[in-house]
A and B are shown apart, each in its own frame.
Chain A
C-alpha cells in the first residue's frame, strides 16, 4: 500500500509570495492533518480535514489555510510569506474519526525556505 505523498518536496519562495502544498493520503484514509515543524518549536498542529471539512485548527494566523477534496487529497496554502514560515510542513493521514484508531501516518514533508 502506498504511503502518504507530499509535493513538492522542496520549495524556495520570496517574502510576500504565496505557496500551495499538496498531500495525498494513504488509500482508504479520509482524515488529513497538517503540521509545521521547526527546530525551535517542534511539531505544531495547523489543521485537520475530514470529508472536505476542517474539523480542528491550531493557533496559526489566517494566512495559513487548507482544503480537502472529495478524493481526500488535501492542499494547504500560505499567503504573504514571512521569513519565519521557513519550516518542514508535514501531512499525516488517518482513518476516519470514530473508528477508535488515532494512528497517524506521516508523509516525507515539504521543506519550505522563505528568502
Chain B
C-alpha cells in the first residue's frame, strides 16, 4: 500500500535549537517528494520538491533532503515564526499521498 509516514507528530523547540523532521515513504513509482508548510486555518504552502535520491534543497532556515526511503526537513536555528505544521507528500501516477504532518512549535 502506498503510504507516507511523518515523525514526530509534534515537536517543541527552543528558539535557535536545530532539529530534523522525518518523512518515510513506501510509494511505488515515486515521481517526487514534496514538503509543505501549513498555518492554522490556511491551505498548505509549497516549500520544496525533491525528485531523486541525494537531492537537497534549501530555503532560509530550511533544508530538505531525500534518500531512497525517506526525506528529512532540517530546521537550523528556528525562530517562533517557523511554528507551523509541516506536511510531506509523495506523488505517483499523478496522485499525491500526504503524511499527517509534524506540528512544530518554536518557543522564544
Interface residues of A (CB under 8 A from B): 4, 33, 35, 41-45, 48, 55-56, 58, 90, 92, 97, 102-109, 111
Are A102 and B49 within 8 A (Cβ)?
A: yes
Contacts of A48 in B (CB 8 A): 94-95
Are B46 and A104 within 8 A (Cβ)?
A: yes
B64 proximal to A (CB < 8 A) = no
B86 proximal to A (CB < 8 A) = no
When each residue 43-69 of chain B gets 1 if its CB lies under 8 Å from chain A and 0 otherwise, what string results? 111100100000000000000000000
Looking at the assembled complex, report how far the CB atom of A76 sits from the nearest CB atom of chain B, in whole angstroms.
15
Interface centre among B31, B43, B91, B101 (most CB of A within 10 A): B43
Contacts of B43 in A (CB 8 A): 4, 90, 92, 106-109
Q: Whole-angstrom distance between the alpha carbons of A111 and B41 in the complex?
A: 8
Looking at the assembled complex, report how far the CB atom of B47 sits from the nearest CB atom of chain A, in whole angstroms.
10
Query: Known interface pairs A48-B94, A48-B95. Does A43 touch B42 (Cβ–Cβ under 8 Å)?
Result: no
When each residue 70-95 of chain B gets 1 if its CB lies under 8 Å from chain A and 0 otherwise, what string results? 00000000000000000101010111
Looking at the assembled complex, report how far the CB atom of B34 sits from the nearest CB atom of chain A, in whole angstroms.
7
Interface of chain B, helix or strand or loop or mixed?
Answer: strand
Are B32 and A105 within 8 A (Cβ)?
A: no
B25 proximal to A (CB < 8 A) = no
Q: What are 30 A-B interface contacts by the 8 Å CB criterion?
A: A35-B98, A42-B98, A42-B99, A42-B101, A43-B44, A43-B98, A44-B98, A45-B95, A45-B96, A48-B95, A55-B94, A56-B93, A56-B94, A56-B95, A58-B95, A90-B43, A102-B32, A102-B34, A102-B49, A102-B94, A103-B46, A104-B46, A104-B96, A106-B43, A106-B46, A107-B43, A108-B41, A108-B42, A109-B41, A109-B42
Looking at the assembled complex, report how far the CB atom of A83 sits from the nearest CB atom of chain B, in whole angstroms.
21
